[in-house]
Amino acid sequence: MTSAPTLATSPPPAHRPDSNDPCWCGSGRRYKRCHRTSDLDRSVAQAGGAPLVPSAPRVRPGVVGPLREVPAGIVRPPYARGEGMPAARDPGRPRDADTIARMRVAGRAAAEVLAAVGRAVAPGVTTDELDRVAHTETVARGAYPSPLLYGNPPYPKGICTSVNEVICHGIPDSTVLAAGDIVNVDVTVFLDGVHGDTNATFFVGGEEAADLQSRELVRVTREATWKGIEAVRPGARVRDIGRAIQTHAQEAGFSVVRQFVGHGIAQQFHAEPSIYHYDEPSATRLLEPGMTFTVEPMINVGSWRAVMWDDDWTAVTADGKRSAQFEHMLVVTDDGAEVLTLL
C-alpha cells in the first residue's frame, strides 16, 4: 500500500537520492515511497519519451533449428563424446597453476566470443543467428561450445539466449529480437581441457530504446555482480558473496533468483562449490587461493520465483516481469580475486 507523494516544497535535486534514502522533499519518507516515480516520469520527458516500464508481449517458444556441426579436430568434453554426465561432482579444491593458466585462456576466449555476439544483437535478428555467430567464433578459436549436448535432456544449442522475462537457459530459436528488448547471452567454451563461462545482458536497439525500469535493472544487476566479486578473498565465506549481491539488489527494490546458482568450474562445467546469490546461512565454506568459480546473479524486477517451460531448460519469471544477469569466472588470489573472463 502506498499513498501519493505530498506536494513538494523544495525543488528536486540534480542527482536523485538512492531508493532507500530520505526523499529530497523533506517528507521523511523513503525516496522510493515518495517522489521517485514522479521524478522518473520527469526524466522520461528529458530522455525523449522513453517509457517507464516495458510493454513487450510475453516471450513464446520459437522453432529450434538443427544441430550445428563441430569440426572433427576440436576436442569435445566427455558428455559430448557419449560418455554421459560426470559420475562424481568435482569437490572444487584449489586448482594447480597449470589448470589456472589454461582457464585464463579459456576465459578470455569466452569473453571474446561474448563480445562478438553482443555486436550482433540488433532489432530483427533471431536468437538462432546469435548462436550461429557464437558457434563460428568458438570453433575459430579451436574451442567446443560447452552447452551443446550438455545435461538431460541434452541442450540443443551452443549458447543460452534469455530474452526479457526469461531468467536463464533460453534456447536460441526463431525468436526475433525487437527494439526495447533485453537479451542475456551466456557463452561457455571448452578449450584445452577446461571451461570458460561468462554472460552479459544487452539492450536490443541500444540502451536508448529501453524503458527506464529495464535500464535500472541491468545497471543494478551489473553492479551487484561486481559487489559479489569484490567480496571474494581468502578467509571470506561463500555466503559473503551472496550477501553482498542480495543487499545491493534489494536496496534497489529488486529480487534475487534462488533456484539457479554460480558454480565451481575447471575440467567440469558445474563443480562445487555452489555460489548462492543471496545470503544462504549454510554456505559457510571458506574461500581459498586457487579456487575457481563463477558469480552470475539473476536479478528480477518482481518476484524471485521461476517457472520452467516444457522444454525442461527455459526458466522464466513466475510473474512475467523482467530478469537480468551478468556472469564472470574467477580464481581466488592471495588478496582477492582475478577475473578470468575480461577482454
Choosing among ligand MF3, Co ion, none, which partner's interface includes residue 169 (Cβ < 5 to 8 Å by kind)?
Answer: ligand MF3
**Interaction of residue 169 with ligand MF3, rule CB under 6 A:** yes
Nearest to 333 by CA among 27, 94, 52: 94
For 155-253, strand residue ranges (E) read 159-163, 166-168, 182-191, 194-203
Residue 155 is a binding residue for ligand MF3 (CB under 6 A): yes
Residues 118, 123, 126, 132, CA torsion sign: negative
* Contacting range for ligand MF3; rule: CB under 6 A; set: 44-52, 130-138, 143-151, 210-218: 143-151
* Closest separation in Å from C-beta 5 to ligand MF3: 41
Pick from 151, 193, 289, 302 the residue near ligand MF3 by CB under 6 A: 151
Give the one entry of ligand MF3, Co ion, none that residue 150 binds, where binding means its C-beta sits below a cut-off of 5 to 8 angstroms depending on kind.
ligand MF3
Q: How far apart are CA 200 and CA 178, in angstroms?
A: 18
The interface region with ligand MF3, picked from 43-51, 73-81, 109-117, 144-152 by CB under 6 A, is 144-152
Q: Binders of ligand MF3 among 176-205, rule CB under 6 A?
A: 186, 188, 197
String marking each residue 283-302 x if it binds ligand MF3 according to CB under 6 A: -----------x-x------
- How many angstroms separate the CA atoms of 87 and 325, rounded? 30
170 binds ligand MF3 (CB under 6 A): no
State which amino acid sits at residue 178.
A
Contact between 131 and ligand MF3 per CB under 6 A: no
Under the binding rule (CB under 6 A), the answer on residue 323 touching ligand MF3 is no
CA pair distance 159, 151, nearest whole angstrom: 13
The correct pick among 128, 137, 173, 186 for binding Co ion (CB under 5 A) is: 186
- Phi and psi at 110, nearest 5°, equal -60, -40
Measured from the CB atom, the residue of 165 and 327 that comes closer to Co ion is 327
The one segment of 99-107, 134-142, 149-157, 271-279 that binds ligand MF3 by CB under 6 A: 149-157
| Closest to ligand MF3 by CB, 34 or 117 | 117
294 binds Co ion (CB under 5 A): yes
Q: One-letter amino acid identity for 58?
A: R
Residues contacting 213, CB < 8 A, separation 6+: 52, 53, 54, 301, 322
Residue 164: helix, strand or coil by DSSP? coil
241 binds Co ion (CB under 5 A): no
Give the binding site for Co ion (CB under 5 A): 186, 197, 199, 294, 327
Give the binding site for ligand MF3 (CB under 6 A): 147, 150-151, 155, 160, 169, 186, 188, 197, 294, 296, 313, 327
